[in-house]
């Protein structure tokens, strides 16, 4: 009988190896496809959104004349408030005209309003608030940095071209030519847009002035509410169910329902929040406290489930050891079981929080989509002031007409992603820090 | 071996733990049937018997560790110093401070060696200051014959020790609360022969201060360390008496066949 050589594969082995190779190819294909999709998503978001972090500004000297802005001469903000943003708009336009003339720029080709349009409609209000806050500015000449209008900003970000400008009643090729000259003269600059993360939202016509300030604060307030409520309640509920509750029909029922609650669509929690917190309890709409409570309800099962899993994963021998020495149940849990379960609990909590941070639907129902211009106060009373939320702000901006908001929405997505990545990094860090072997 | 037996006779006749008509049920499974037993003070009592006969179950009745199993029900009367440990007035936590337990698998806390031993005295408020605690930790580690091996690394994790060392650490931890009775459930089953010999030696020394109850799979071990032996079979206490008598001259035929290796 001849023995088969080890160097030649028999038929079965060949078939087995082929199957294995095919399986690996499938897996690799799936992963490559997923990575490509992710890459495409990131490229499109960053391509659209990064310009939001840059902004076109006009910096020029403005003389704040008493005869225009404070005719009474009292320097009383209440009286000075009579001068409206229209007056301030004229002051700004005049000042820009003077600056352009001084730099030798020919403005004769501009139509009526062509110069005023270079400046964002938001800037007169900014200047007015500045003066009302500090009336001693009257009579002085200050260097003022105004936002450039949305079209001009779009021109430097490639959104607006000379061809589209010819068809656009809000701008003109002549205006853009003046803008180019102002840029050469150093009056018009493009620089980092810190206002994107500090300013409040702006109206539909002023994408250049729209910022995420209130949305970020609103989201932070809500996350604080969720953390303060959901973590202790969730952990306490899990510890009770896992370590103290008798195992019977009733606790089984609770267990099944917690799993079900985690699967309930989030908009249902929004309806619940509307019915309970706003209609029954009478809390204000658009308030971070209500958003936080709704998100707490939604997050609780998502914290309880991983927490219970983490508690279950603690070896029973540790509990026996502690009980055997005469530790009480609670001592056993707090001294031994919880520290061992901590990495799992924290990871679960942070993932729950991250989900809550990105949640939009329930917040729409409790009115967080309202247009808010005033910053909420400091907590705790600030929790009851109207605010926005990051994901809702994104949704809101994507529904607006001006193309400038596409850029803003993508920029807001980048901010949201940064928050999520930061939270996940914290989760990984905590996990490493608390992880122990046994 | 038998000669050695004759030397280590029972030193005392004081009854520490007494069980009368003890029954244990897991749901409908009747795991312990009508057991009467007297466990003497300052004596090593061995529970032997085939696997699944209820040795661990009965042992866990003695410090009410069975309370943690929802389906488990204990009937009958078990007393410690003539007080019924299942009396409603008894707090099981307080009871367990007086009846220490060492488990089959070494289960040190994932904390430092020092903290493992210090934990019991801390939660029971046995010490007033750090110096006293240090003294207890040292004396317990010495009693557990572990001091010389770990004295330079008390801050190292207890889980980093070898299996035999871990088990001795668990014994040190159990005796740190100064219990009156020490229950040991197959304490050597996860250990190698050398570590086993060390633990057995230790048990013999512990006898001067505690009443020790040890469950063991190994009849040699029972013969080596115990003065009295109880043989369990299918939930019944078949025979209970002096170790020498059980091994040399068993009365019940089931004991005889187990000892000679015919059931097991
Ligand atoms: N936690 C438990 N739940 C239900 N039945 C158990 C449990 N522990 C032990 N038993 C049952 O009780 C009987 C005795 O078990 P055990 O005391 O562990 O035996 P041994 O320690 O002598 O090997 C066995 O029939 C076993 O199936
Ligand atoms: Mg057992």
Which regions in chain B score pLDDT beneath 50?
Answer: 1-8, 10
Search chain B and give the residue with CA nearest A339: B110
| A325·B94 Cβ contact <8 A | no
Helix, strand and coil percent figures for chain A, each rounded to 5? 65, 5, 25
Q: What are phi and psi of A319, to 5 degrees?
A: -65, -45
- Over residues A409-434, the pLDDT tens digits come to 999 999 999 999 999 998 888 888 87
Domain A213-434 has CATH 1.10.3720.10: yes
Which ligand sits nearest to residue B233's alpha carbon? 1
Q: Which residues of A touch B124 (CB under 8 A)?
A: 326
- The DSSP element (H or E) to which B100 belongs, if any, is strand B99-102
The reply to whether B32 falls in a domain is yes
Best of B91, B98, B100, B110 to substitute, by most chain A Cβ atoms within 10 angstroms, is: B110
Contact A385, A403 (CB under 8 A): no
Contacts of A113 (CB under 8 A, 6+ apart): none
The reply to whether B264 falls in a domain is no
Out of A317, A326, A335, the one facing B97 most closely (by C-beta) is: A326
Give me the CATH number covering residue B238: 3.40.50.300
Search chain B and give the residue with CA nearest A248: B70
Neighbours of A81 (CB within 10 A): 10
Question: How is chain A split into domains, by residue range?
Answer: 50-192, 213-434
What residues make up the domain containing B225? 2-109+181-259
Q: In angstroms, rounded to a whole number, what is the distance separating the alpha carbons of residues A344 and A427?
A: 10
> What does the pLDDT read at residue B263?
60
- Over residues A187-225, the pLDDT tens digits come to 899 989 888 988 888 888 888 888 999 999 999 999 999
User: What mean pLDDT comes out for the span A88-103?
Assistant: 89
Count of domains in chain B?
A: 1
Q: How many residues does chain B have?
A: 264
Q: Is A58 helix (H, G, I), strand (E, B) or coil?
A: strand
Q: In angstroms, rounded to a whole number, what is the distance separating the alpha carbons of residues B167 and B190?
A: 9
Q: For the full predicted model, state whether its pTM sits above 0.95.
A: no
> What does the pLDDT read at residue B6?
44
Q: Which residues line ligand 1 (CB under 6 A)?
A: B 26, 29, 31, 49, 51-57, 69, 71
User: From ligand 1's centre to the CA of B54, what distance in Å?
Assistant: 6
Give CA separation, B207 vs A146, B82, B182, B231, in Å.
90, 21, 9, 21
> What does the pLDDT read at residue A218?
93
Shortest CA gap A42–chain B (Å): 43
Using the predicted structure, report yes or no on whether residue A436 has a pLDDT greater than 70: no
- Over residues B210-251, the pLDDT tens digits come to 899 999 988 889 999 999 999 999 999 999 999 999 999 999
- Over residues A389-412, the pLDDT tens digits come to 999 999 999 998 888 899 999 999
Which ligand sits nearest to residue B66's alpha carbon? 1
> What does the pLDDT read at residue A321?
94
| A340·B110 Cβ contact <8 A | yes
Helix, strand and coil percent figures for chain B, each rounded to 5? 40, 25, 35
Shortest CA gap B124–chain A (Å): 8
> What does the pLDDT read at residue B3?
43
- Over residues B75-110, the pLDDT tens digits come to 999 999 999 999 999 999 999 999 999 999 999 999
CA A68, chain centre distance (Å): 41
- For atom 20 of ligand 1, the residue with the nearest CA is B52
User: From ligand 2's centre to the CA of B190, what distance in Å?
Assistant: 13
Peptide bond into B11 cis (omega under 30): no
**Considering only residues 119 to 178 of chain B, which have any Cβ-Cβ distance to chain A shorter than 8 Å?**
119-120, 123-124, 159, 170, 173-174, 177
Which ligand sits nearest to residue B187's alpha carbon? 2
Select from A210, A208, A194, A147 the least CA-distant residue to A372. Answer: A210
Concatenated DSSP letters of A130-164? HHHH-GGGTT-EEEEEEEBPHHHHHHHTTSS-HHH
Please state the ipTM of this predicted complex.
0.88
């Amino acid at each position: 009988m001849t023995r088969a050589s080890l160097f030649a594969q028999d038929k079965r082995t060949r078939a087995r190896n082929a199957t294995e190779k095919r399986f690996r190819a499938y897996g690799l294909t799936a992963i490559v496809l997923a990575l490509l999709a992710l890459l495409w998503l990131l490229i499109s978001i960053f391509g659209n959104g990064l310009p939001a972090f840059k902004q076109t500004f006009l910096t020029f000297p403005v003389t704040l004349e008493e005869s225009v802005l404070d005719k009474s001469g009292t320097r009383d903000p209440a009286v000075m408030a009579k001068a409206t943003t229209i007056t301030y708009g004229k002051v700004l336009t005049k000042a820009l005209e003077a600056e352009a003339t001084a730099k030798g720029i020919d403005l004769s080709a501009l139509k009526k309003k062509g110069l005023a349009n270079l400046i964002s409609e938001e800037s007169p209000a900014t200047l007015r608030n500045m003066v009302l806050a500090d009336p001693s500015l009257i009579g002085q000449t200050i260097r003022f940095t105004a936002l450039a209008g949305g079209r001009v900003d779009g021109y430097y970000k490639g959104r607006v071209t000379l061809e589209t400008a010819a068809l656009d009643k809000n701008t003109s090729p002549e205006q853009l030519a003046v803008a180019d000259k102002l840029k050469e003269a150093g009056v018009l600059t493009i620089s980092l847009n810190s206002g994107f993360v500090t300013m409040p939202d702006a109206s539909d016509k002023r994408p250049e002035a729209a910022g995420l300030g209130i949305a970020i604060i609103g989201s932070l307030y809500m996350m604080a509410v969720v953390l303060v409520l959901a973590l202790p309640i969730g952990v306490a509920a899990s510890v009770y169910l896992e370590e103290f509750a008798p195992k019977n029909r009733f606790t089984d029922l609770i267990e099944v329902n917690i799993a079900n609650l985690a699967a309930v669509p989030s908009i249902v929690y929004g309806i619940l929040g509307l019915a309970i917190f706003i209609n029954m309890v009478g809390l204000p709409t658009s308030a971070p406290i209500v958003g936080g409570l709704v998100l707490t309800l939604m997050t609780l099962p998502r914290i309880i489930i991983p927490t219970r899993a983490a508690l279950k994963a603690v070896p029973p021998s540790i509990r026996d050891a502690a009980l055997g020495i005469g530790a009480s149940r609670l001592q056993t849990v707090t001294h031994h079981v919880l520290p061992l379960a901590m990495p799992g609990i924290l990871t679960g909590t942070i993932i729950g929080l991250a989900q809550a941070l990105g949640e939009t639907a329930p917040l729409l129902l409790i009115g967080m989509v309202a247009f808010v211009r005033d910053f909420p106060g400091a907590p705790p009373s600030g929790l009851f002031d109207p605010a926005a939320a990051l994901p809702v702000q994104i949704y809101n901006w994507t529904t607006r007409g001006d193309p400038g908001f596409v850029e803003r929405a993508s920029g807001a997505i980048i901010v949201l992603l940064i928050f999520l990545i930061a939270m996940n990094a914290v989760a990984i860090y905590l996990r490493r820090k608390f992880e122990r072997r046994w | 071996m038998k000669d050695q037996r004759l030397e280590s006779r029972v030193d005392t006749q004081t009854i520490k733990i007494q069980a009368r008509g003890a029954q244990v049920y897991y749901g409908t499974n009747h795991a312990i049937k009508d057991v009467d037993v007297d466990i003497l003070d300052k004596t090593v009592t061995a529970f032997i018997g085939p696997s699944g006969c209820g040795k661990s179950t009965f042992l866990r009745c003695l410090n009410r560790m069975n309370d943690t199993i929802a389906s488990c029900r204990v009937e009958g009367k078990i007393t410690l110093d003539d007080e019924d440990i299942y009396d409603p007035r008894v707090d099981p936590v307080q009871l367990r401070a007086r009846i220490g337990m060492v488990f089959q698998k070494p289960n040190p806390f994932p904390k430092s060696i020092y903290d493992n031993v210090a934990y019991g005295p801390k939660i029971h408020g046995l010490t007033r200051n750090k110096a006293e605690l240090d003294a207890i930790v040292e004396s317990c580690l010495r009693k557990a014959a572990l001091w010389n091996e770990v004295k330079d690394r008390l801050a190292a994790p207890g889980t980093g020790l070898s299996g035999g060392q871990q088990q001795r650490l668990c014994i040190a931890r159990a005796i740190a609360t100064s219990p009156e009775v020490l229950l040991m459930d197959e304490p050597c089953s996860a250990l190698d022969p050398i570590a086993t010999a060390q633990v057995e030696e230790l048990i013999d020394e512990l006898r001067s201060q505690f009443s020790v109850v040890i469950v063991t799979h190994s009849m040699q071990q029972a013969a080596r360390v115990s003065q009295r032996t109880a043989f369990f079979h299918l939930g019944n206490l078949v025979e209970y008496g002096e170790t020498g008598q059980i091994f040399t001259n068993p009365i019940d035929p089931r004991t005889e066949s187990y000892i000679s290796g015919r059931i097991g």
